[in-house]
Amino acid sequence: MYVDLWGWFWQEERNAYRNNDDIVKQVIELARQGWMYRRNAQSNLMLQSFEQAAAIAREHHNPCWELFATYWACSTLFYHVDDLQAALERTVKLVARAHEEAIIHCPIRSRIYFLLADIYYEIDVFGYEDKIRESLTFIETEIASDEDTYFRVQHRFADLAFLHEDYDAAFERVTAYMAKIEDNDFRMRSANQLLRLLAYARGDLTTAYEHSIQAEKYARTIQSHVDIGVEALWQAAFLQHLDDQTTANAKYLQGNMIFITHDLPHWPDYYNAMCDYLETNNQPTKALEKRNQQIEEYTNYGSWFYLGLAHLQKCRLLQRMKPDEPDVKAAMQAARAISQNMLKPALYLEKLAQIEAGNCYEYAWQKPTDEG
C-alpha cells in the first residue's frame, strides 16, 4: 500500500487556509515557488525557496514540514544545483532525522532514503552497490512509500541490471513498471530514456530514436530542459547513423542551444550523445576535446563513477583514432590512477584491460565490419 504524499500535501494546504495557519501557508507557498523555479531552470532560486521554507518550519517547531522542505532542498542540491558533496552531507543528516519518533509518520520519508541511495549511486555505484541495493529493498519492502518513489526504486534496479550488462533483466523490470505508470510523465520520461539506452546497446538505432522521441515528449510535459536538450542530441546522433545528416545537424544545433541558453549541467548522457554525433560526423578531434572537457569538469565533482566513465570513453576514442601513439598510453595511465579512489574497482579495471587489449568499442555493433 502506498502513502498518498500529494493527498497529504493538498489536505494540509486546505487545513492551513481553513484554520488561517500562516506558518504552513508560507511553507507551502515557498515550496510552490521552488517548483516554479525548477520549471524555469533557475536552480539557485529553487534552492533558496526550499531552504527558506525549511527555516520557517524549523523556527516554528513543525518537524514534518521541516523534513518535507529540507528534502526538497537536498534534492535540489543533488539534481539541479550539481553540488554532490553538500547534497551528501545534508542528506545523511536528514536520513538520521527520518528515524525520529516525531516525524516517523511523515509521508516524505521514503523519498529521503531513495535520495541517499541515488547519491551513493552517483558517487561510486559499484563501490556502494550493496548499500544501494539494501536501501532500495528497504524502501520496497519495509517502509510505506509514495507511488512515484516506489517506481523510482524499480527504475534504479533496472539501471543496476543495465550497468551489469544484464539487458534482458533491465528490459523486463522497466517494461513491467511502465505498464502501471502511463499517467506519470516523470517516470515515463525516465523509462523511455532507459529503453533508449537498451536499444542503443543492442544496436537497434531506429528503436532507440523512437524512445528518444517519447522521452523528449514527456520531458517537455514536465518542462525538464536538461532532458529536452539531451534527447535532441541523441536524436542527432541516431539520425547521423541513419544517414539523415540534414535533420541530424538541425537536432545537434537545437540540443546545443538548449544547454547554452539555460546553462544546464552536463551529465554523462550529454557527453555520450555529443561525442557519438561528432565522431559519426567525421569529427573525432572535436569529440576528443569534449571528452577532455568532460574529465576536467568531473575531476573535482566527487563522482568516481562519472569520472571513470569519462576516462573509459576517452581511452576508447583515442584507441580508435591513433592506437600506436603515446597519447593512448598516457590516457590509460590517467584512467588507471583514479581507480585507487574507487571502493571496488575490479569491473572498471577489467574494462580498461579490454581497451588496452584492442577492444575500443563499448558495444559490439559499433565495431566496423572491416575490422574483423
pLDDT, one tens digit per residue, over 44-84 is 999 999 999 999 999 999 999 999 999 999 999 999 998 99
Residue 74 maps to a domain = yes
* Gap between the Cα atoms of 189 and 269, Å rounded: 14
Residue 274 maps to a domain = no
Residue 278 maps to a domain = no
DSSP state of 80: I
The pLDDT assigned to 372 comes to 54
Tell me the whole-structure pTM to 2 decimals: 0.93
The b/e string for 233-247 (b: 16+ C-beta within 10 A; e otherwise) is: bbbbbbbbbeebeee
Residue 80 maps to a domain = yes
Residue 303 maps to a domain = no
Per-residue pLDDT of the chain (372 residues; tens, 9 = 90+): 689 999 999 999 999 999 999 999 999 999 999 999 988 889 999 999 999 999 999 999 999 999 999 999 999 999 999 899 999 999 999 999 998 888 889 999 999 999 999 999 999 999 999 999 999 999 999 999 999 999 999 999 999 999 999 999 999 999 999 999 989 999 999 999 999 999 999 999 999 999 999 999 999 999 999 999 999 999 999 999 999 999 999 999 999 999 999 999 899 999 999 999 999 999 999 999 999 999 999 999 999 999 999 999 999 999 999 877 788 999 999 999 999 999 999 999 999 999 999 999 999 999 987 765
The pLDDT assigned to 1 comes to 65
Residue 25 maps to a domain = yes
- Residue at grid coordinates 518513489: 149
* Gap between the Cα atoms of 220 and 88, Å rounded: 29
What angle, rounded to 10 degrees, do the helices at 185-201 and 205-222 form? 160
Concatenated DSSP letters for 178-189?
A: HTT-TT-HHHHH
Range of the domain at 5: 1-102
The pLDDT assigned to 332 comes to 96
CATH number of the domain that 80 lies in?
A: 1.25.40
The pLDDT assigned to 47 comes to 97
Q: What are the grid coordinates assigned to 251, written together?
A: 537536432
Torsion from C-alpha of 252, 258, 259, 261, nearest 10 degrees? 130
Count of structural domains, the chain: 1
Residue 38 maps to a domain = yes
* Cα dihedral sign, 154-158-159-161: positive
Residue 320 maps to a domain = no
Q: What are the grid coordinates assigned to 156, written together?
A: 534504479
